[in-house]
Amino acid sequence: MDRLDLLPIGEVARRSGVSVPTVRFYEERGLITSVRTTGNQRRFERHVLRRIAVVRAGQRFGMGLAEIGEALATLPADHPPTKRDWVRMSSRWHALLTARIEAMERVRDGLSSCIGCGCLSLRSCPVYNHDDELAAEGPGPRRWPPAARDA
């Protein structure tokens, strides 16, 4: 059964630029899948490289693995995705990214105007008071952005 065109984990790691434990970790999180050899070793299809590339790209957009996983779930897991699959997924990401960029721009410009007026301590300040639903997110680190609520 051990097909030759399947990649062992070290190859996947090398080619995708992540570490071997990270590849296992991504599999554990369901972001990628593998089959096993008769000797219980993982073998990956080539298109997991694309999936890992998507994961890394998503992380650069400030997404968590869970969120990325949802996006990946819209792609076929068994066969390599078609161009249509990519276009669909990535256009959503494009919109999302644009929204986040705009949010950052608002904060940045708020910063300037705020400095102009010297109001940083006031409740009406756009920097101080940009989104006022405080805390209420439970423990764990605060990520940027807290959520994609704006736009």
User: What track of x and - describes contact with DNA for positions 86 through 105 (by CB under 7 A)?
Assistant: --------------------
With CB under 5 to 8 Å by kind, the binding choice for 148 among DNA, its own copies, none is: none
Q: Which is nearer to DNA, 21 or 80 (CB)?
A: 21
Q: Which residue of 66, 101, 147, 151 would you call a contact of its own copies, by CB under 8 A?
A: 101
User: Is residue 113 involved in binding DNA (CB under 7 A)?
Assistant: no
| Residue of 12, 11, 51, 6 whose CA lies nearest to 29 | 51
Find the binding residues for its own copies in span 51-90 (CB under 8 A): 53-54, 56-57, 59-62, 83, 86-87, 90
CA 143/CA 137 separation, integer angstroms: 11
Size, binding site for DNA by CB under 7 A = 30
The residue written with tokens 């790691």 in the block is 13
Shortest distance, position 71 Cβ to DNA, whole Å: 13
Q: What is the DSSP letter of 36?
A: E
User: Is residue 118 involved in binding DNA (CB under 7 A)?
Assistant: no
Element of type H or E holding 39? none
Question: For the chain, how big is the Rg over CA atoms in Å?
Answer: 21
Pair 78, 37: CB distance under 8 Å: no
Options 37-45, 73-81, 86-94, 109-117: segment touching DNA (CB under 7 A) = 37-45
Shortest distance, position 84 Cβ to DNA, whole Å: 27
Element of type H or E holding 50? helix 48-60
Query: Where along the sequence are the contacts to DNA (CB under 7 A)?
Result: 2, 8-11, 13, 18-22, 24-25, 37-42, 55, 59, 64-66, 135, 138-142
